[in-house]
Amino acid sequence: MSSDARPTKRAREQSDDAPLARSPEYWFEDGNIVLQVESTQFRVTKGVLARHSSLFKDMLSLPLPQDEPLVDECPLVVLSGDSSADWTHLLAAMYPDSCFDSKPAAGYAAVAAVLRLSKKYDMANFRQATVRRLKTDFPTTLAAYHAQRSAQPSIAQVSPGGEDVDLSYVIAVAREVDLYSILPSALYSYVVKKIAYDGEPWSKLNLAPVDEAMLFKGYARLARLHSLTPERTSVGAVPSPTCRRSCDEAAFEYLDELKDSLASVDVFAQWHAWSDHLCSLCVQHSESIYEIAQGNLWHALPSFFGLPSWDELKGMDFE
């Protein structure tokens, strides 16, 4: 563990100009240590910190110096460089308020906060859990992406509204902690949900400049696909060589409908039977072409955003 991640200590008089405030959720009267993050103080227990963090375990095993600053007779630890919002999310994981309940999955603000701090303070269980969650939600294979999109459609919602899924947290923390393999799927999901379907203006993307640049690049590439989208490619393959009836008219009508659709951006939507008026052989042929076109695009997806290949990205992951 690098020394720059180690908590620092200082007296309250040296704190920032903002007045200090006790956390309303995480100030326990039986706590025996006070963590100060920005202008917020958290009174918690050493045992809980030591249980989850090897860094805190090592630090708390050392004897206290005589000039140790105290708050309500508890040692004070100032955590420089952290945000109080992140620590509120982390302490919510350390001190859960329910047991055996089927609670909704944590939002991405919480996931990003816990991952960021668990990596910094060597909290292996939390780090592994958040990495597992993000790699599940933003996979590197098309089959896994389809499965996750079916299980959690709000990640790439096809209509405005629904639960708040702020993918900007995912994109930011992926670069911050070196979890690069989730970036192509996360950036693509951001394009589909926030821009294509929700119609969110570019000025409200809440992304760092480097992430906005990647997003612009990918969106422009996706928007230029036109005839190469799986939808158009599969429809253009009708009628099949073994067509049992004249299916070209139905295909032509559907191509006309696609002119005003968002299919040129949402290229990884799962196959759906637009083919009510097609023969069974044309349906099979069209679906096969659709899957091949999607596979080719998925393979190229990282390059749309100016990123290395899937294999290279996975090799760059810290875990």
Q: What is the pLDDT of residues 263-314, one digit of tens each?
A: 457 788 777 655 566 777 777 777 888 888 899 999 999 999 999 999 999 9
Considering only residues 4 and 28, tell me which one the structure prediction assigns the higher pLDDT: 28
Task: Count the helices and strands in the chain (H runs, E runs).
Answer: 13, 5
pLDDT at 2: 39
Q: Give start and end residues of each alpha helix (H) in 154-269.
A: 167-177, 183-190, 209-223, 230-236, 248-258
pLDDT at 285: 78
pLDDT at 249: 65
pLDDT at 10: 46
Using one digit for the tens of pLDDT, what is the confidence trace for 113-166? 999 999 999 999 999 999 999 999 999 999 999 888 877 665 554 333 334 468
Identify the top-confidence range among 4-13, 80-89, 246-255. Answer: 80-89
Q: Which of these, 120, 12, 125, lies nearest to 76 by C-alpha position?
A: 12
219: CB partners within 8 A, 6+ apart: 191, 195, 265
Domain range annotation of the chain: 3-105
pLDDT at 81 over 90: yes
Using one digit for the tens of pLDDT, what is the confidence trace for 187-235? 998 888 776 666 665 666 788 999 999 998 998 888 787 556 666 566 6
pLDDT at 1: 40
Phi, psi of 108 (to 5 degrees): -70, -25
What is the DSSP-derived secondary structure letter of residue 138?
S
Strand partners, 34: 43, 76
Q: Which of these, 64, 53, 262, 76, lies nearest to 156 by C-alpha position?
A: 262
| Cβ-based burial of 24 (10 A; exposed 0-12, middle 13-18, buried ≥19) | exposed
pLDDT at 319: 84
Q: Give start and end residues of each alpha helix (H) in 43-83.
A: 46-52, 54-60
Torsion angle defined by CA atoms of residues 312, 313, 317 and 319, in that order, rounded to the nearest 10 degrees: -80
Domain 3-105 fold: Potassium Channel Kv1.1; Chain A (3.30.710)
Considering only residues 176 and 16, tell me which one the structure prediction assigns the higher pLDDT: 176
Considering only residues 200 and 317, tell me which one the structure prediction assigns the higher pLDDT: 317
